[in-house]
């Protein structure tokens, strides 16, 4: 297995005793599984661990873009709580850009960690007033609202938008912050576990973002 375990809410290693996983700071958690390096083989392990829980990412990848990171939260197959993917490339306006997508059950905390926000879930801003942009998850429309990161502990180097689909939170974290202007209604999120043999064409690797 090419994935290492950790806490979904913080960088601490988790302890595995008597079938339970625990973080020294967060108590019992569903473990986060993340590769040391984003490779095609590690992504195969990721898909096995995710066990059908979607791993959404922006699709198709632009020329020169690659999948630089992914992770899954779950104690065992069938009990997946969250996934994340990151694609990285460049845009003419922003230079190097990371686009992270987190799909999670409410209360998991991975999206908030990646986004650098204080609360587990995106909060009241989502669903209030008109959405900032509507994109699609496959053929379904997805409305996204901006999520304030000003009360987080990190510097303002990213933009966060979030919405809800099928009872799960969808977070998009874009670095640098100006990359949020790349969001357009023609953006599509696709489940990488449904790409099939086309996955062989997907470039993996490159520097993963810090989170």
Contacts with Zn ion, residue ranges (CB under 5 A): 7, 9-10, 12, 23, 25-26
Q: In this complex, which beta carbon is closest to Zn ion, that of residue 25 or of residue 41?
A: 25
How far apart (Å, rounded) are the C-alpha atoms in residues 138 and 154? 32
Q: How many residues does the chain have?
A: 211
Which of 69, 73, 160, 176 has its CA nearest to residue 121? Answer: 160
Question: By C-beta, is 105 or 164 nearer to Zn ion?
Answer: 105
Q: Which of 125, 173, 155, 137 is nearest to 59 (CA)?
A: 137
Angle at 198 between CA 94 and CA 69, to 5 degrees: 45
Least distance CB 7 / Zn ion (angstroms) = 3
| Residue 152 CB, nearest approach to Zn ion (Å) | 16
Residue 2 Ramachandran class (φ > 0 left, ψ -120 to 50 alpha, else beta): alpha
Least distance in Å: CB of 109 to Zn ion? 8
Contact predicate 187/136, CB 8 Å: yes
Q: How far is the CB of 170 from Zn ion (least distance, A)?
A: 23
Rounded least distance, CB 36 to Zn ion, Å: 19
How are beta strands 133-137 and 188-191 bridged, if at all?
Answer: parallel
Cβ proximity to Zn ion, 30 vs 58, nearer residue: 30
Region of residue 167 (phi > 0: left; psi between -120 and 50: alpha; otherwise: beta): left
Q: Which of residues 5 and 91 has its CB atom nearest to Zn ion in the complex?
A: 5
In angstroms, how far is CA 183 from the centroid of its own chain? 16
- Rank residues 9 and 190 by Cβ distance to Zn ion and give the closer one: 9
Q: In the complex, what is the shortest distance from the CB of residue 29 to Zn ion, in angstroms, rounded to a whole number?
A: 6
When the beta carbons of 22 and 178 are compared against Zn ion, the nearer one is 22
């Amino acid at each position: 297995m090419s994935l290492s375990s950790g806490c979904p809410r913080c960088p601490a290693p988790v302890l595995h005793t008597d079938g339970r996983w625990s973080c020294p700071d967060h108590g019992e958690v569903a473990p986060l599984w993340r590769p040391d390096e984003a490779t095609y083989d590690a992504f195969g392990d990721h898909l096995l661990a995710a066990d059908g829980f979607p791993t959404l990412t922006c699709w198709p990848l632009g020329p020169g873009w690659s999948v630089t990171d992914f992770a899954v939260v779950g104690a065992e197959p069938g009990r997946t709580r969250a996934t994340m993917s990151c694609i990285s490339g460049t845009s003419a306006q922003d230079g190097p850009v990371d686009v992270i997508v987190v799909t999670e059950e409410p209360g998991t905390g991975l999206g908030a960690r990646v986004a650098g926000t204080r609360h587990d879930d995106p909060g009241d801003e989502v669903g209030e007033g008109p959405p900032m942009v509507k994109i699609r998850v496959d053929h379904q429309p997805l409305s996204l609202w901006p999520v304030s990161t000003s009360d987080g502990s990190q510097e303002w180097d990213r933009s966060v938008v979030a919405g809800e689909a099928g009872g799960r939170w969808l977070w998009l974290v874009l670095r640098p912050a100006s990359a949020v202007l790349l969001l357009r209604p023609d953006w599509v999120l696709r489940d990488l576990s449904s790409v099939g043999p086309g996955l062989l064409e997907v470039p993996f690797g490159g520097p993963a973002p810090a989170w």
